[in-house]
Structures are given as C-alpha cells and as structure tokens.
Amino acid sequence: MMFKKKVKQLAPHLFLWPYILIVLYPLLFVITASMKNNTEIFNDPWGLPAVFNMQNYRDALTNSYIGHYFANSLYVGVVATVSTLLLSTAIAYAVTRMKYPVISKLVYGMLLLSLLIPPASLLIPLYTLVKDFGLYNTPLALIFPYIAFGIPLTVFVLAAFLKSIPNELEEAGIIDGLNTFGILWRIIIPLTLPTLVTVFILNFINNWNEFVMANLFLSNEKLRTLPVAIVAFADKFNMNYGAMTAAITISIIPVILIFALLQRRIIEGVTAGSVKG
Amino acid sequence: MNNIQRNHWAYAVFVVPAMLIYVTFYLVPLFQSLQYSLTQWNGINDPVFVGLDNFAKVLTDDSFWISFNNNMYFVLFSVFIQVPFIILISIIVSSVRRFLDFYKLTVFMPSILSTASIGVIWQFIYAPEAGLLNQLLRTIGLEHWTRIWLGDEATAMLAVLLTNSWQWTGFYIVLVLAAIFAIPKEMLEAGEMDGATGWKKAWLLTIPLIRPVIVVTLLLSITGAMKALDIILIMTKGGPFGSSEVMASYMYKQAYTLSDFGYANAIAVIISLFTALLALVFHYINVKTREATE
C-alpha cells in the first residue's frame, strides 16, 4: 500500500523530468561550452569543461566589442522603457481617472486596434518612415518604435490597476490642496509602483531581446544591439563555438539575473498582461 | 473635484505626447502599408499606382503559397500538438507538491530569452557534425536518422517549429497553471466525491473549468504563428530553397532582397487580413462549441 502510494507520487515527476531536461540542457550546454575550447566542444560536447577556462570571455569582450553592444542594448532598452512607462502612466491616468469619457473611449479604442495588427506587417512602412525622418542609423530609430509598440499593453495593464484605486484617496488629496499633477505624483504613482515595476521589466525584456527592427533600422556596426551582434557573430564565426557561446552567455545573464530576483512579479505580470490583452 | 478631474490642460499634457508617438509609429505605418500595397515601388523612386496588381500577382506566385502553407503548418502544429502538450504538462505539474516552483520557473525561463540567442543555440543543436542532436542519435545507435536538419527541405520547417515550441511552451504552461490553481477547491472536491479522480477528473472537471484560458492560449498561439519572423530570419532565412519561408519572411525578402516594396506591402496587408480572419473563425468556433456544451 505504502509502495503503491510512493509510485503514484513519483509518477508525475518521472513524466516531467525528460521535458525539464530538454528545457535545461541547451542552456547548460551553452554555459559549459563557453568555458571550453573548440576541440573540447567537438570531442566531448556533453561533459563538463576540464578546467574552467575564461579565455572565451576575454576574447569576446576584447576582440568583438560585445561590451560595447551590451552598452548599446542597455541604453536603447532603458530609454525606451522609461519613456514607455512615463507616457503610458499619463494616458492610463487620464483615461481612467479624468472625466472626458468620449475622448478617452476614442483613445482607448485606438490603442485596442494594435491587438489586431501583427507587428511584422508594419515593418516596411516603419522602415520608410524611419528613413524619411532621418532617424535611420541613430538610436532613436529603435527607441521611437519600441515606445510605440510598448504603449498599448502597458496602458491596458496600468489602466486595469488604476480602476481599482478608490476615489476617496483622490478626494482626500484635493482637500489637502493638491492639483491634478500633485495627485498623480503624490497619490497615484506611489500606489501603482509595484505594477510599474512589473511593466518596466516586461517592456525592458522585450526591448532587450528585439531583433528584427534592430537588424533593419541600424546598419552602423557601432550602434548594434546584442541580439543583432550575436546573430552576426554566429554567421561570421560559425565554427568558433567557444567565443559564440561566451557571447550568448553574456547576453542572457542580465535577463536571467532579473528573472532570478523578480520571478514572481515577472510571471504574474506576463500572465496578467496576456489574459487581459 | 471637477476642476481636478476636468482639467483640459492636464488632460492634453497626459494624452497628446504619448498618442503622437503611438499614432506616428504605429497607426501611420498601418495606413501607409495599405497605400503602398497599391503601388509599384522599388523603395527609391516615386511609387507608381497600379491598383490591385500586387494582389493579383499573389494568386499566381507559387513561392508565396509555399510560405502561406508553412504558416498554416505552423498554426496547425501549435493548435493540435503544442497546445495539447501544454495542457497535459500543466495538469501534471498542478498535481505535484514537491518541486512545483522549480518546474514552473524552469519551464518559463526560455520565454524571457532572446530569440536571437535561442536561434543560435538551436542552430548548434541541429549542426550536422558537432550538433548535439546528431551526436545523440549516433550515441544511441540511430546513425541513419542523422541529417542536416536545417539544410534539408524535409526537416527545416519542423526544426524551426520545435525551436519555437521550446521557447514558448513554458510561458503558456504557466498561464494555464495559474488558471488551474484558480479553480475553487470545493468544486474539485465535490467532483472527487462523485468519483472523478485522476485522468477522469482532468478530462471532466479541470479542462472544462479552464476553458477560457485554453481559448486564450489557442488564440495567442495562432496569432503567434502568423507573426513569426525573427526565428526564421535567424535560423534558416527561409531556406533551403524557400522550404521554411513564412509569409512575414517572404515579405521581408521581397522588400530587402528584391526591392519590390509594393508587393511586400501587399503581402503585409494579406498577413493582417488573414490573421484577423483566423481570429474571427476561431471566435466563431469557440462560441458555437460553447453553446453546444452548455
């Protein structure tokens, strides 16, 4: 009886482990390969490195400007994300807490339109637009589209939260003599801070990972972001697996770190966002 | 109160700058796409109006239909293989107590990594000689199964689809799990008292109760399949011989390799319309089957 119960408890785990292994192994492989040299990778792809060799990282950081691309990604990602949040908070506040029902419906409807359009189909006109505005080959060529693509979902998540804040808090603020901006800054933003952190992370991860536009709107190598650099690197040195896996590890570390620190918030945010979207 | 909540100036400050960026970089391209789709244009000279010629060209363009079929293949793979797998794994994970958080976090992780890194990692897994998949097959004595996965017309698309599943399955599992854990305990207990346990419980209770989230999962996978572009550009560039081309990558090729921006925009319009059509059909089926079960 005891035995049967044990088997019953164990069965789901036995079923899950092969899948877990398939998920984890490629990541584990990248990390171990980044510490091996090429011969070692070819002869013994499965094993751990004989010595923890950091040469590939030194090569990646000194010879291939990975550090520079990292800074580019960080710059574009942070500027676009902060702007998205500022602009989205303003819209979400205006449409949920201010009394302009007709215009607010219109604004919200225009944002909802974005759910129907696959972003890939905007790529070519966007490319033309970026060139016409003289933004091609500047960081702004990515920052503006990232903001525009980030606004709708950010507004939906923030508006859903703002609707739940009771009116009495604002009334108290008014009695204390706050104006519209004061209420937003002193009352609404502090209450919304946890949600803001969540949407910040989601937008940042999206921007950090974006490939197609970053590949198309910038041709200057100096401005490249990490995803583009990694793909270019893989095409150019497709036999130098050590350096390549080191570059990949460098690019996924920030995201894994953010995830390790804020997993719950990320998972909640992502699932809430997609259910509402 | 009114002066605060009806302050024209403040409302304008809040709404205008943000909407200006959104309209300029989202809605304007949308309408330009419609406009350019009716022209012949190489991206440099002035576009020449040609009416619906680009859309007529689509009908007889075999390469376009290969990419269209690949999108269909992508959608069907997501709906009939990936989503059932997601539901199965979610139900199993929801039944365990130990390691629950570990499973959840692990399966979720690939969905936050960049498609660029994932594409490059899987290119290595599929590599002909050193690649992990072929090495694994050789180790277990299935030498004759080895092939150049991404360079073979028969397997390139499937190889990309599996990579895409590897990236996104965990994301949906977490979504479905949240719904399973949100089912009121009493409901499941009542079911158990009526004799529904194990798979019977999953089939008769859990799945009907999480129907809304399954609908969302299906819808997101369908639109995701229509959106796919980066993973194709990174892993195969549509090759070999166009065998892994999808509509979005074919559009990309028309614009940036062949400089046919008019035709590329026509394909962009078709992608949008077709995605909307799929969503509508899906919505219709969803409503019909819900009526039938209720």
pLDDT, tens only, B235-274: 999 889 889 999 999 999 999 888 899 999 999 999 999 9
pLDDT band at A133 (very low <50, low <70, confident <90, very high): very high
How far off is chain A from B92, nearest CA to CA, in Å? 6
What token pair was written down for B271? 């992608």
Contacts of residue B123, defined as CB under 8 A and 6 or more positions apart, other chains included, come to A234, A238, B150, B234, B235
Note the pLDDT of residue A273.
57
Q: Does A94 touch chain B (CB under 8 A)?
A: yes
* A12–B96 C-beta distance less than 8 A: yes
Task: Name the DSSP letter for residue A248.
Answer: H
Is the pLDDT reported for residue A52 higher than 90? Answer: no
- A63 compared with A58, residue with greater pLDDT: A58
Is the pLDDT reported for residue A65 higher than 90? Answer: no
What are the residue ranges of helices labelled H in chain A? 2-33, 38-43, 55-63, 66-97, 101-112, 123-132, 140-162, 167-175, 180-182, 189-209, 212-217, 226-236, 241-276
- Tens digits of per-residue pLDDT, B236-245? 998 898 899 9
- Option in A45, A125, A263 nearest B130 (CB): A45
How far off is chain B from A229, nearest CA to CA, in Å? 9
Count chain A–chain B contacts defined by CB atoms under 8 A.
259
- Tens digits of per-residue pLDDT, B84-111? 999 999 999 998 888 888 998 899 999 9
Place of tokens 């690649």: B131
> Alpha-carbon distance A203 to A207, whole Å?
6
Query: What is the percentage of chain B residues whose pLDDT exceeds 70?
Result: 98
CATH number at residue B226: 1.10.3720.10
Read off the pTM. 0.89
Q: What is the mean pLDDT of chain B?
A: 89
> What is the extent of the structural domain holding B105?
62-293
**Domains contained in chain B, number:** 1
In-domain check, residue B12 = no
In-domain check, residue B30 = no
Residues B119/B163, Cβ–Cβ less than 8 Å: yes
Is the pLDDT reported for residue A201 higher than 60? Answer: yes
Residues of A in contact with B119 (CB under 8 A): 231
- B205 compared with B23, residue with greater pLDDT: B23
What token pair was written down for B263? 């035709």
Select from A34, A124, A226 the residue whose CB has the most chain B CBs within 10 Å, as the one to mutate to test that interface: A124
* A124–B268 C-beta distance less than 8 A: yes
> Alpha-carbon distance B91 to B97, whole Å?
12
- Interfacial B residues in 80-109 facing A (CB < 8 Å): 89, 92-93, 95-96, 98-99, 103-109
Q: What is the mean pLDDT of chain A?
A: 86
pLDDT band at B227 (very low <50, low <70, confident <90, very high): confident
* B107–A23 C-beta distance less than 8 A: yes
- Option in B36, B112, B175 nearest A271 (CB): B175
Structure ipTM:
0.87
> Alpha-carbon distance B215 to B175, whole Å?
12
In-domain check, residue B241 = yes
In-domain check, residue B86 = yes
Note the pLDDT of residue B204.
81
- Tens digits of per-residue pLDDT, B133-190? 888 898 888 888 888 899 888 999 999 999 999 999 999 999 899 888 888 888 888 8
pLDDT band at B117 (very low <50, low <70, confident <90, very high): very high
Note the pLDDT of residue B66.
94
Note the pLDDT of residue A1.
56
Q: Does A244 touch chain B (CB under 8 A)?
A: yes
Note the pLDDT of residue B65.
95
Note the pLDDT of residue B61.
92
Residues A271/B178, Cβ–Cβ less than 8 Å: yes
pLDDT band at B218 (very low <50, low <70, confident <90, very high): very high
Note the pLDDT of residue A276.
43
In-domain check, residue B17 = no
What token pair was written down for A160? 């859903």
> Alpha-carbon distance A92 to A151, whole Å?
10
- Interfacial A residues in 148-167 facing B (CB < 8 Å): 148-149, 151-152
In-domain check, residue B157 = yes
Note the pLDDT of residue B64.
95
- Interfacial A residues in 171-210 facing B (CB < 8 Å): 171, 174, 178-181, 183, 205, 208-209
SS (H, E, C) chain B: CHHHHCCHHHHHHHHHHHHHHHHHHHHHHHHHHHHHCCEECCCCCCCEECCCHHHHHHHHCHHHHHHHHHHHHHHHHHHHHHHHHHHHHHHHHHHCCCCHHHHHHHHHHHHHCCHHHHHHHHHHHCCCCCCHHHHHHHHCCCHHHCCCHHHCCCCHHHHHHHHHHHHHHHHHHHHHHHHHHCCCHHHHHHHHHCCCCHHHHHHHHHHHHCHHHHHHHHHHHHHHHHHCCHHHHHHCCCCCCCCCCCHHHHHHHHHHCCCCHHHHHHHHHHHHHHHHHHHHHHHHHHHHHHHHHC
In-domain check, residue B136 = yes
> Beta partners for B40?
B48
- A160 compared with A53, residue with greater pLDDT: A160
Note the pLDDT of residue A4.
73
Q: Does B265 touch chain A (CB under 8 A)?
A: yes
pLDDT band at B294 (very low <50, low <70, confident <90, very high): low
Note the pLDDT of residue A274.
55
- Option in A20, A107, A226 nearest B106 (CB): A20
Exposure of B143 in the CB half-sphere (CA atoms within 13 A): 1
> Alpha-carbon distance A180 to B1, whole Å?
10
Residues of B in contact with A183 (CB under 8 A): 4
Is the pLDDT reported for residue A47 higher than 80? Answer: no
pLDDT band at B2 (very low <50, low <70, confident <90, very high): low
In-domain check, residue B44 = no
> Alpha-carbon distance A174 to B274, whole Å?
50
Q: Minimum mean pLDDT among A114-123, A208-217, B57-66, B98-107: which range?
A: A114-123
Note the pLDDT of residue A260.
84
